[in-house]
Chain A
Amino acid sequence: MSTVRDWAVPNPITENRSGLIGKPVDRYEGRLKVTGTAPYAFEVETPSTPLYGHIVSATIARGRITAIDLSQAASAPGVVLAWSHLDVPVQAQRGAKLNPRSQRGSNPALGSDRVEHYGQSIAFILADTPENARSAEARIRISYEASDADLDFGSFIDSAGPVPGEEDARIGDFEAGYSASEVTVDATWFSPLQNHAQMEPCATTAWWEGDKVVVHTSIQMVKGGQHALAETLGIPSDRVRLLTRYIGGGFGGKGQSYDDLTLAALAARESGRPVRVAYTRRQMFQATVHRPAVQMRVRLGADGTGRLNAMALEAVTHCARNSTFVEHAAEFARNLYAAPHRLTGHRLVRLDIPHAGAMRAPGEAPGMLSLECAMDELADRLGMDPIALRIRNEPEVDPDNAKPFSIRQLVRCMQEGAQQFGWDRRNPTPGAVRDGRWYVGMGMATAIRGNFLLPAKAGLRLTGDGLATLTQGMTDIGTGTYTILAQITGETLGLPLDQVRVELGDSDMPPAPGSGGQFGAATAGSAAFETGMVMRRRLAELATSDPRSPLYGEDPVLMDFANGNIVLGNRSESLAALASRAGPEGVYVEGSISPAADARDWSQHTYGAQFAEVGVDSVTGEVRLRRMFGVFAAGRILNAKLAKSQITGGMIWGVGAALTESNAVDPRYGSFLNQDLGGYLAPVHADIVNLDAVLLDEADDKANPMGIKGVGELGICGSGAAIANAVYNACGVRLRDYPLTPDKVLAALEAKGL
């Protein structure tokens, strides 16, 4: 097992001799995407004419189906089959694992007469056209027996229970420390239920080849989906080939498979035809996971100089009745600021609504909307600059566990951000700056998000045409995986990018954990790097042991790789020639990465500072972003252009969280009030003005051999808090109930007599 010391030696990536690392090259698959020729799951070519499946969803929150009559639907024009729980083919029980090593258990669809949430699949129609499948739904007759359902999070907050297996994190004596503090803040924030709203609804195309099923599905984790389907069907996983080459947005919501996968596979088996199934936009809201609402109470106690003495963040959130998911909104606070007396923890409410799950930066995204505003309130109370307050509480070691930081450039992020944003032009007095009918203000917040490395493998083949093809059961959800793996492979082998191919998203390929938790680049990338190093060693052995090579007899350790050649001094041979001699298959190697044995000896995070300027309309209460800027530190950057896109995209998610995005449960039906993109307001072009970001030079040699870290989730962290703080600076009202919509702002302005 490696230690981080093993990683600290120079390697082709850290030396970056051909300059591919960091280079802002265009997206590897970009041409396919701008020409509309990248096939997403619903669109892949099928071996014969496909059928179309349509899922029918429950319209009660909880209860059972007492009667369901599909006969009229089954005899509708073009319909091939119609299923409910009464006639769906046999599937393994939910969660069952035939193979104990399966990453996911059985995920049956239409498994019983029980309805556990609104929007649950209860019937399925397969027809020759999408129109016939959908119109047959109107012919289904269903009767329910509804049971009492717990739907309203707000009414259960006070009775929320502990999270099984978790205890509050306590250091020092929070209560004593807090009550002894000179200046305190005690306030409660609310972040509502949010939806991923990926542009591509979940979809699957499936067909059978003998006893093996081929499924193209939109999922972030290849192995999890493959295993879930195998377990559901009760077959070994090598009889499921899962492909997911292009994914129209995931953001955590496609971390698992849904009923489109199960039903497409079952219907393809039953009909003997390829089957396409997609959720409708409305189904996406309730049939897939969401970010749960979180209530967060923050208490801060400081001395007169702003030094924190006590800090508490207590979060209450919810999940589905039979679920274990927890939005860990308090966790980030453990590593952010120094304070001797600390308390963080979570409480959970179980509801009869669709499943809560991971959504971009789970934990930090809602969590930082509380603490980072509480710090702003504390700064205001102390008469201190918010950046100065944070610098005063910058810890020397991780305040949670006393571990040294691998690298922490948070202060530099704040200082450089302040300078580039023009923070010195901020008037600290709220409501002091007007622009016509607009109150104008500035706010800032920090960003922190953990960094992870998981075990992963990759394959690499060098062929006689001089092409290197990297293969990995990894996904690219728009994050840039294809591109960065090409850059890593090219730099490692000394090959120009046009001689590198990357193939992803296939369960037949060496496995990687997929996209999530901003671990993708570091994990998949490190595996690609290690595989490239295996290839270098293999090629060096081949050349030096082959009398036909000009490098014959030399020490393989001395070989260098540049410009498509293996080189020693003034002698060289092309990689193409080496691969040709190895045979028609060329040279194939596999490699892998695992976390270092001592990886947990360091506190390892990505950091940033967010700055926002907003206008608050004194007449309508509308908040408009005027400009936004962030500085981030996230290890070595593999592609400056794509990394920045990830970061700015995340920042814009924060704008949505602060100003527009919200869902709520209809207490009558257990449905969501917003079931489309006209009601659920993700930011649009007109909402985003003058938004930019900078990534600092950094290399984290404790992270992995390349010193890289994730950037996919960092941008959303603290982003919304910077906006809320800017709203306060603009008009002097503290709003703690997100999103900060005009109705709330206007009421607050009126309450202040403005």
Chain B
Amino acid sequence: MRTEIRVNGVDHAVDVDTRTSLLDFLREQLDLKGSKKGCDHGQCGACTVLVNGVRINACLSLAVMHDGDEVTTIEGLASGEALHPLQQAFLTEDAFQCGYCTPGQICSAVGLMAEIAAGHPSDATADLNAKVILTDAEIRERMSGNICRCSAYPQILAAVRRAAGAAA
């Protein structure tokens, strides 16, 4: 099925198998293998990408559903040699070990920052009428869809905090 999709700023007009997930499309057809397949059914978050700025699990979405969408993957975050502040913060805080969940964690954190900026509440938000602020509890809650079996959670929290501090 003909699908037009913009990925990391590059336009693609391609015929896609209607069964192909966005994740497999990115990995196997565009050769963007940074988005990882950890479970292939929306439970681990390793495939997290940004679609029109909103984070989703690429494995739970079919490529053909994204006709006209703009997708950002881990490969699209850095500007040339300059890492995205979250990528740099993950490196500095050692917020990963095996690295397999890392692209998803970082894309998820990018999405998280946008949600906070847009004032979206979460289960950890104490006051739904107040401005949402980026507390540790908010970060933990909002990052809980991204499993890290190496369990770099304390370091991931520190990395998101560091990047948020740099952005503030």
Interface size class of A (residues with CB under 8 A): 35 or more
- Asked if B140 contacts A689 (CB within 8 A), the reply is yes
A463 within 8 A of B: no
Stretch at the interface among B36-44, B50-58, B113-121, B125-133: B36-44
Say yes or no for B14: interface residue by CB 8 A criterion: no
Most buried by B among A26, A129, A645, A683: A645
Establish whether residues A685 and B19, one from each chain, have CB atoms under 8 Å apart when the complex forms: no
CB <8 Å contact, A33 and B96: yes
Residue pair A36, B83 in contact (C-beta under 8 Å)? no
For A26, A478, A682, A692, which residue has the most chain B Cβ atoms within 10 angstroms?
A: A478
Answer whether A36 and B73 are a contact pair too, CB < 8 Å, given A43-B27, A130-B24.
yes
- List chain B residues, Cβ under 8 A from A684: 144-147, 153
Instruction: Write out, one digit per residue, whether chain B residues 58-101 have a CB within 8 A of any chain A CB (1) or not (0).
Output: 00000000000000011101100001000110111010111111
Task: Please indicate the chain A residues that have their CB under 8 angstroms from the CB of B150 in the complex.
Answer: 199, 249, 478, 645, 649
Q: Is B12's CB within 8 Å of the partner chain A?
A: no
Q: Within the assembled complex, what's the spacing in Å between the Cα atoms of A641 and B154?
A: 12
Q: Is A30 part of the binding interface, using a Cβ–Cβ cutoff of 8 Å?
A: yes
Say whether chain B's binding surface is mostly helix, strand, loop, or mixed. Answer: loop
A683, B151: Cβ atoms under 8 Å? Answer: yes
Q: Binary interface profile of A, 229-269, with partner B (CB < 8 Å = 1, else 0)?
A: 00000000000000000111111000000000000000000
- The smallest beta-carbon distance between A474 and chain B, in angstroms, is 15
Q: Which residues of B contact A488 (CB under 8 A)?
A: none
A726 within 8 A of B: no
CA distance A130 to B33 in the complex (A): 15
For residue A205, give the distance in angstroms from its CB to the closest CB of chain B. Answer: 11
Contact indicator B99/A38 (Cβ below 8 Å)? yes
Q: Is B152 an interface residue (CB 8 A)?
A: yes
Chain A residues with CB below 8 A from B96, complex form: 27, 30, 33-34, 478
B94, A199: Cβ atoms closer than 8 Å: no
Q: Does B28 contact A (CB under 8 A)?
A: yes
Q: Which residue in B143, B147, B154 is a CB contact (below 8 Å) of A677?
A: B147
| Closest A residue to B142 using CB positions | A685
Total interface residues on B, using CB and 8 Å? 58
Structural contact, A27 and B91, CB atoms closer than 8 A: yes
Chain B residue nearest to A650 in the complex (CB): B151
In the assembly, what is the distance between CA of A246 and CA of B99, in Å? 8
In the docked arrangement, what's the CA distance between A246 and B100, Å? Answer: 9
Q: How far is the CB of A255 from chain B (nearest CB, A)?
A: 15
Residues of B within 8 A of A (CB): 17, 19-20, 24, 27-28, 32-41, 43-44, 46, 73-75, 77-78, 83, 87-88, 90-92, 94, 96-103, 106, 139-141, 143-157
Extra pairs beyond A40-B100, A248-B38, A684-B144 (20, CB < 8 Å): A34-B99, A35-B87, A36-B74, A36-B102, A199-B36, A199-B44, A199-B149, A200-B100, A249-B100, A249-B149, A251-B149, A281-B39, A281-B44, A478-B96, A478-B97, A478-B150, A648-B152, A676-B41, A677-B43, A684-B145
Using a CB–CB cutoff of 8 Å, the interface residues on chain A facing chain B are 26-27, 29-40, 42-43, 129-131, 135, 196-201, 246-251, 278, 280-281, 477-480, 641-642, 644-646, 648-653, 676-678, 682-686, 688-689, 691-692
- Chosen A-B contacts, 7 in total, with CB atoms closer than 8 Å, are A131-B17, A199-B44, A200-B38, A249-B149, A477-B98, A649-B152, A684-B145
